[in-house]
Amino acid sequence: MSTSFERVSRFSVGYDPHEVDDFLARARTAYEQGGTDFDSSSVTAASFGTQRGGYDMRTVDEALDRLSDAFALQQRDEAIAREGEEQWIGKLTGRAESLKERLERPAGERFAPGAPGEKSYDRTDVDALCDQLIAYFTEGLPMSVDDVRRAAFRRRKGEDGYKESVVDVYLDHVADLMASVP
């Protein structure tokens, strides 16, 4: 993976190139050496400072998505080699069942409400994606990991919506699961 990304104009804000380059160098080393202290969730959780004239955020985010997928597949291959495919499928099924439990909650009650005065995600928008995920898990509805990663929700305030951090973490787990399935 190249660590040279398109930069935004000097009047626009992008990711700090030094932070991005440093992170990607560490990720490459971990990937190539099979390090256990770095995985797809490390990539998903990455955040960078910003600066004028930095790297284009969209381009970096897309590269991070591909890197997260690569780590997920590497983890899958290592788990299959270590434990066998049947064991891996069993664990994957368990993770899917655990994630599906939240989806089976009634619409409007799937996640914690936002805190008073804080930004939150529109419940209807989140529930619509959850309904698609139910169909993906139970009926084989075609969905890509990018459908989950790129989901956008209208904003609400406080208890009128779902708490953003809870929804984001849940969707990160769903995306990791989807990325590990060939």
Q: Are residues 104 and 78 in the same domain?
A: no
DSSP string over 108-175: T-SSPBPPTTSEEEEHHHHHHHHHHHHHHHHH-----HHHHHT----EEEGGGEEEHHHHHHHHHHHH
pTM over 0.75: no
Q: Are residues 124 and 168 in the same domain?
A: yes
Q: Are residues 89 and 57 in the same domain?
A: no
**Could you tell me how far CA 152 lies from the centroid of its own chain?**
13
Once rounded to an integer, what is the mean pLDDT over residues 5-13? Answer: 92
pLDDT at 3: 57
Q: Which two tokens stand for residue 32?
A: 């190539």
Q: What DSSP state is assigned to residue 13?
A: E
* CA–CA gap between residue 129 and residue 131 (Å, rounded): 5
Give the DSSP H or E segment for 15: strand 13-15
Q: Are residues 79 and 107 in the same domain?
A: no
Give the DSSP H or E segment for 96: helix 85-103
Q: With 90 as the cut, is the pLDDT of residue 151 above it?
A: yes
Q: With 50 as the cut, is the pLDDT of residue 139 above it?
A: yes
pLDDT at 43: 85
pLDDT at 1: 46
Q: Are residues 6 and 75 in the same domain?
A: yes
pLDDT at 70: 87
- Percentage of the chain beyond pLDDT 70 is 97
Q: Are residues 66 and 111 in the same domain?
A: no
**How many CA atoms lie less than 13 Å away from 137 in the CB half-sphere?**
22
Q: Are residues 56 and 110 in the same domain?
A: no
Range of the domain at 79: 1-83
pLDDT at 69: 84
Q: With 50 as the cut, is the pLDDT of residue 5 above it?
A: yes
Q: With 90 as the cut, is the pLDDT of residue 33 above it?
A: no
Q: Are residues 146 and 57 in the same domain?
A: no
Q: Are residues 64 and 153 in the same domain?
A: no
- Longest Cα pair distance anywhere in the chain, in angstroms? 54
